[in-house]
Structure 1
Amino acid sequence: MLTIHTLNFSYGDLKVLWDVDLQVNQGEIVTVVGSNGAGKSTTLKNISRLVKPTSGSLTFNGTDLTKLEPHQVVEQGIVQVPEGRKIFPEMTVLENLRMGSYIKSSRGDREANIDRAFTLFPRLKERARQLGGTMSGGEQQMLAIARGLMANPKLLLLDEPSLGLAPLFVKFIFDIITEINRQGVTILLVEQNVFQSLRISHRAYVLETGRVVLSGTGEALLNDEHVKKAFLGM
């Protein structure tokens, strides 16, 4: 579905990604783990075309993403839920959701997708008329994910969805990610919560200082000695 080959990226003179190779197959949850500054979020931004790679290729179902603008990437079926949630704080929950279905191909499914969002996140239904900015961090993360689903994504990019959340919300978010995948959405997940993300992943990659240093199944990486020492404190 998604293939990244020898991706390089620099912010000015600072090189951030070095020959990154990564693949996501249809139906998978694939996780990219690593510490702060490893290049995880930058990888997602390259896929979404929020930044332009220095070199390398990104293809999605045979389409060259490097030739597209960000809105065209969304039209291909790739939707990113950004780090920090980035909801519209002065809009209600319902208005935020409707903003997620602005592309033409998803407008006809808007009401059905709102119902789907409220089924996944009953708390959002209770707060449908509440301003997004007045909700808790966990509720805003629910809204950010639900808004991403409004565009009928084939591939959902999730950037640090558990960041800053209370432990109860963290477990809920990972359970929801699993359920969204079960419903047929392929997921590329960037996370610092290594244990929880590898636990639900089909495959995963470890990024260190912009380089892929390990890859394998989620289970295999959970049992890898380097991963245990570097990220799990074991």
Structure 2
Amino acid sequence: MLTIEKLNFSYGDLQVLWNINLEVKEGEIVTVVGANGAGKSTTLKNISRLVKPNAGTITFDGVDLTKLEPHQVVERGIVQVPEGRKIFPEMTVLENLRMGSYIASARKDRDANVNRVFELFPRLKEREKQLGGTMSGGEQQMLAIARGLMANPKLLLLDEPSLGLAPLLVKFIFEIITEINKQGVTILLVEQNVYQSLRIAHRAFVLETGRVVLSGSGESLLNNEHVKKAFLGM
């Protein structure tokens, strides 16, 4: 579904991605793990066309994404849920959700998708008239993911969805990611919570200082000695 080949990217004179090769197959949960600053979020920004690579190719369903604008990437079926949630704080929950179905292809399914995300996140249904900025961090993260689903994504990019959440909410968010995948959405997940993300991943890539240093099944990387020492404190 998604193939990245020899992706290089720099912020000015600082190169942060070096010859990244990565692929996501339809129906998978693929996780990219690594320490803060490893280049995980920058990889997602390149896929979404929020930044332009120095070199390399990014193809989705056979289409070269590097030739598209960000809104065209969304129209192709790639939706990013950004780090830090970035909901619209002065809008209600329902208004935030409706903004998620802004593209023409998703508008016809708007009401059905609202019902769908309320089934996934009953708490949002309870707060549909509440302003997004008045909700807790966990509720805002639910809203950010729900808003992403409103665009009918084929591939959902999740950037640090568990960041700053209490342990019980972290568990819930990973359960929801698994359920979304079971409903037919392919997921590329960027996470610092290495244990939880590898536990649910079909395949995973480890980034260190902008380079892919390991890849394999989630289970194999959980049992990898380097991953244990570097990320799991074992």
Q: Specify the code of the residue in structure 2 equivalent to 1:17.
A: L
Structure 2 match to 1:100:
100
- State the TM-score, normalized to the length of structure 1: 1.00
Structure 2 match to 1:217:
217
Unaligned runs of 5+ in 2: none
State the percentage of identical aligned residues.
Answer: 85
Structure 2 match to 1:230:
230
Q: Specify the code of the residue in structure 1 equivalent to 2:12.
A: G
Q: CA deviation at 1:6?
A: 0.2
Structure 1 match to 2:123:
123
Q: CA deviation at 1:70?
A: 0.2
Query: Matched residues in 1 for 2:89 and 2:165: separation?
Result: 18
Structure 2 match to 1:169:
169
Q: CA deviation at 1:20?
A: 0.2
Spell out, residue by residue over 1:147-184, the C-alpha distance to the aligned partner (whole angstroms, 9 max, x if none): 00000000000000000000010000000000000000
Query: Matched residues in 1 for 2:43 and 2:61: separation?
Result: 18
Give the alignment's Cα RMSD to 1 decimal.
0.2
Query: Matched residues in 2 for 1:37 and 1:146: separation?
Result: 27
Structure 1 match to 2:195:
195
SS at match of 1:144: helix
Query: Matched residues in 2 for 1:209 and 1:22: separation?
Result: 16
Structure 1 match to 2:24:
24
Moved over 3 A (4+): none
Query: Paired residues, what number?
Result: 234
* 1:17-166 equivalences in 2 (<5 Å): 17-166=17-166
Query: Matched residues in 1 for 2:165 and 2:54: separation?
Result: 34
Query: Matched residues in 2 for 1:83 and 1:120: separation?
Result: 20
Structure 2 match to 1:3:
3
Query: Matched residues in 1 for 2:82 and 2:91: separation?
Result: 18
Query: Matched residues in 2 for 1:36 and 1:14: separation?
Result: 16
Unaligned runs of 5+ in 1: none
Query: Matched residues in 1 for 2:16 and 2:219: separation?
Result: 28
Q: Specify the code of the residue in structure 2 equivalent to 1:2.
A: L
Q: Specify the code of the residue in structure 2 equivalent to 1:140.
A: Q
Q: CA deviation at 1:79?
A: 0.0
Query: Matched residues in 2 for 1:166 and 1:89: separation?
Result: 21
Spell out, residue by residue over 1:183-234, the C-alpha distance to the aligned partner (whole angstroms, 9 max, x if none): 0000000000000000000000000000000000000000000000000000
Q: Specify the code of the residue in structure 2 equivalent to 1:57.
A: T
Q: CA deviation at 1:141?
A: 0.2
SS at match of 2:52: coil
Query: Matched residues in 2 for 1:169 and 1:138: separation?
Result: 6
- State the TM-score, normalized to the length of structure 2: 1.00
Q: CA deviation at 1:128?
A: 0.2
